[in-house]
Copies of this chain bind each other. A is one copy, B any other.
Amino acid sequence: MKIAIDAMGGDHAPEEIVKGVEMARDRYKDLEFMLFGTESEVKPLIQSMERLELIPTNEVIAMGDEPVKAMKEKQDSSLVQAANAVKAGKADALFSAGNTGAILSSAIFIVGRIRGVERPALATAFPAFGGPHKEFVFMDLGANAENKPSHLYQYGILGTFYAESVMGIDNPRVRLLNNGGEEDKGDDVHKEAHQLMKNTDAFNFLGNVESREIMEGTADVVVADGFSGNATLKAIEGTALTMMGQIKESIKGSGIRGLLGALLLKPALKAMKHKMDFQENGGAVVLGVKAPVVKTHGSAKANAVANSMGQIQTMVEENLVGKTTDFIKENADKLKVKKAAK
C-alpha cells in the first residue's frame, strides 16, 4: 500500500512531515511512501530510504494561496504532483497538511469524484463526551459553502460508510444538524433534507440534532451543510481554547493557592486537553472522492502526521472507497428516485 505525501504543506513542513512519515514507517510495516517536495529541502531530512521514494517538485502551494488558482497554476507543486500520482494509480491515497482549499480542489478535480456523488465533503472523527462510542463523524466541515438537500442526504451515506468501515460502528446513528429537533425546523434546504433522510433505508436516520448536543455523543454521524458545519466546528474549537486560556488566567490570578491547586489538578486538566485535542489522532478526510485523501491541521507535528498514516491504512484496508462506490452504483436508481420525488 502506497501513500502519496505532500511534504511541503503545513506550518512545520517539510521537517515534521518527513519525521512523521519515518515514524509511520516504523509503526506500519505494510506502508510505502512517495514523498513529493523540493529536493534541496527534503532530501537532507530523510534518515533512510527504506519503503520511501522522493519525487522532486519545484513549486509550493502556500497557506494563503487562492486554492483553485494555485492548483491550476502550480502544476509542479508537491500537492498537485502527489494528487496526480494517486490519479495515475501510482499511489493509493493522498496526504497533506497544507492549504485546505487546495487539498479539497486537488481531491475533487484531480483525484476525482466517485460517480454519483454530487458533492464530496470534508469529515472528521470528533470526540464524543457521552454515548456508546468514543467518537462520531462530523461532516461537511466546509468543503461546500452552499448545499442542496440531496447533498446532505448523500452525506448520510458517505458518513455511514466511514463510521462503519474506519471506526467500526455497527448501524451508525445519523442525525442532521439543525436549529431545532422538530422535522419542520430550519430553512427549506434542511426541511427537505430531513424528509429525504427520514424516508430512506440507506442509513439509520434518527432526526435532527442541535449543535449544543453533538458533543454528548447523541449521534455517530452528524450531517451539516458546509457553512454551518464549519461555523460549529470553529465555535467548538474557539470555545475550548478560550476556556483553557481562562483557566490558566484564573490560576495565575489566584496566587500560591491557585498554583498549588493547578499542580494537583494537572493530570486531570491534561486528560481533558488530550481529549479535546482530537486532531492529534488523525486528519480530516475528503469523502466522496476516488481515493482516501487526508488533511491534518496546518500546525501538525510528526506524531499527528504518523497517526494520519494509520488512519489512511485503515481506510485502504477496509476498502472504504470501493464499498462506497459499489453502494452508490447499486443504488443509483434509488438515489435518483429520491431526487425526482422532490
Contacts and interface: CB of A to CB of B under 8 A. Distances in A.
A45 interface: no
A257 to B, nearest CB: 5
B242 A269 contact: no
21 contacts: A145-B179, A145-B186, A145-B187, A177-B231, A179-B226, A179-B234, A210-B231, A213-B238, A215-B239, A216-B242, A228-B231, A231-B235, A236-B238, A236-B239, A246-B275, A258-B265, A258-B268, A260-B261, A261-B264, A261-B268, A265-B265
A232 interface: yes
A227 interface: yes
Contacts of A257: 264, 267
Interface string A142-186: 100110000000000000000000000000000001010000011
Copies of this chain, count? 2
Give the interface SS of chain A, mostly helix, strand, loop or mixed: helix
A132 interface: no
B254 A267 contact: yes
A179 B234 CA distance: 9
Given A179-B145, A215-B239, A228-B231, A264 B258 contact: yes
Contacts of A129: 242, 245-246
A245 B217 CA distance: 14
Contacts of A245: 129
Specify which of A129, A237, A239, A247 lies most central, judged by the most chain B CB atoms within 10 Å of its CB.
A239
Interface residues of A, number: 58
Nearest to A264: B261
Contacts of A253: 268, 271
A21 to B, nearest CB: 29
CB-CB nearest 9 A-B residue pairs: A261-B264, A250-B268, A261-B265, A212-B238, A212-B234, A235-B235, A239-B239, A211-B235, A146-B187
Contact of A260 (B145, B216, B264): B264
Interface in A180-201: 185-188, 190
Contacts of A226: 179
Contacts of A276: 243
B227 A215 contact: no
A211 to B, nearest CB: 4
A231 B236 CA distance: 10
A250 B269 CA distance: 7
A230 to B, nearest CB: 4
Nearest to A238: B212
A187 B276 CA distance: 29
A251 interface: yes
A186 B227 contact: yes
A268 B254 contact: yes
B238 A240 contact: no
Contacts of A227: 179, 186-187, 190, 228
A146 B188 contact: yes
A172 B214 CA distance: 33
A1 interface: no
Interface in A258-280: 258, 260-269, 271-272, 275-276
